[in-house]
Copies of this chain bind each other. A is one copy, B any other.
Amino acid sequence: MTGEAEFIDHLRHIATHPAARGLNDDTAVLPLADQTLIITHDMMVEGVHWLPNADPADVAWKLVAVNLSDLAAKGAVPLGVVLGFALAGDNDWDARFAAGLETVLAEYDVPLLGGDTVSVPADKTARALGLTALGRATCDTVPSRSGAKAGNKLYVTGAVGDARAGFLLAQSGGAGDPALLTAFHRPAPLLEQGQTLAGQVHAMMDVSDGLLLDAARMTEASGLALTIDLHAVPLSQAYIAQHGDDAEARLAAARWGDDYQLLFALPQNEKPAIAATPIGQFTDGSELSLRYGNKPYPLPEKLGYLHR
């Protein structure tokens, strides 16, 4: 059997949901009750989204996790994923990828519904991967970026910066605190938290490109101003042990992406349905600004990771 046939066979073994039709058909067929479909698509490209020495199983994990994180920010329950995979002639890589795909889909109980594989020209060996994730909404008003109101507080569900610390460890050889490496290699989409919050909040996003950049997007989409207190930005003990907890360390954590915490807005006196840290305040206006405790803090030119 060729490597490609083996890869497809592995996918077939994963794709046990009836909607996938055993990957023996051209489409997936998914009966739905009366509901709202949530659809997201993220691509990852070798040399852009992962380090050359990355474990392909981690790449598969991340490709699924970043898409599920988008569903989480809508409070959606995943219905399935569809994979686009460019084979670049390295069977071991593909097999590790398929194994990682199986692991992450089992972890979050998400069916593989279908997809497409193509072989890329051997002289252009960088791989491009795409994943479409489908979910069903769990509440009538699906949260958006634009739902924040003046007077709302901005919350984040947990520590940011661990993915940054893990990236720096991975880049310099891969030794160090396993919790930080895991945060970078195998981020956890906060599906349950998103489902719990979705009925309560009207603005929610996941932190994918950096807390400041994503918060700026929510602020702009909502037509408001936002002040974030850097001092309130939560860090993990593992991050602090590596990088400290001064203003510079917190700013670095808040400018980095890949954390997949959830950011959401709530009225001043409303308590979030799950544990979360208030880090900012929306007001009328149109700018993002920072403070550190009681003092204004300069906004850096680059707020996060910009694919675009």
Instruction: Determine the chain B residues whose CB is within 8 A of the CB of A121 once the complex forms.
Output: 45-48, 126
In the bound complex, what is the Cα–Cα distance between A146 and B29 (angstroms)? 14
CB-defined contacts of A128 to chain B, threshold 8 Å: 45, 84, 86, 118, 120, 125-126, 128, 130
Residues from 147 to 194 in A contacting B, C-beta threshold 8 Å: none
Known contacts A32-B35, A37-B32; A27/B120 CB under 8 A: no
Which residues from B are CB-within-8-Å of A232?
Answer: none
- Complex CA–CA separation, A221 to B22 (angstroms): 11
**Residue tally, chain A, CB below 8 Å to B:** 70
Asked if A307 contacts B117 (CB within 8 A), the reply is yes
- A132 at interface, CB cutoff 8 A: yes
> Of A69-77, A246-254, A271-279, which binds chain B?
A69-77
The answer to whether residues A24 and B126 also contact, given A41-B132, A43-B86, A119-B308 and a CB cut-off of 8 A, is: no
Query: Which of B49, B85, B124, B145 meets A24, CB within 8 Å?
Result: B145
A31 contacts the other chain (CB 8 A) = yes
- Tell yes or no: A15 within 8 A of B by CB: no
Q: Are the CB atoms of B125 and A47 closer together than 8 Å?
A: yes
Contact at A25–B113, with CB atoms within 8 Å? no
Q: List 30 A-B contacts (CB under 8 A).
A: A25-B144, A25-B221, A26-B40, A26-B70, A26-B205, A28-B40, A29-B38, A29-B39, A30-B36, A33-B34, A37-B37, A39-B114, A39-B132, A41-B83, A41-B114, A41-B115, A43-B116, A45-B121, A45-B125, A47-B120, A47-B121, A48-B119, A48-B120, A82-B132, A86-B128, A120-B126, A120-B128, A124-B126, A125-B126, A126-B126
Q: Footprint of B on A, CB under 8 Å?
A: 4-5, 8, 19, 21, 24-49, 70-71, 73-74, 76, 80, 82-86, 113-121, 124-126, 128, 130, 132, 134-135, 137, 142, 144-146, 205-206, 208, 221, 307-308
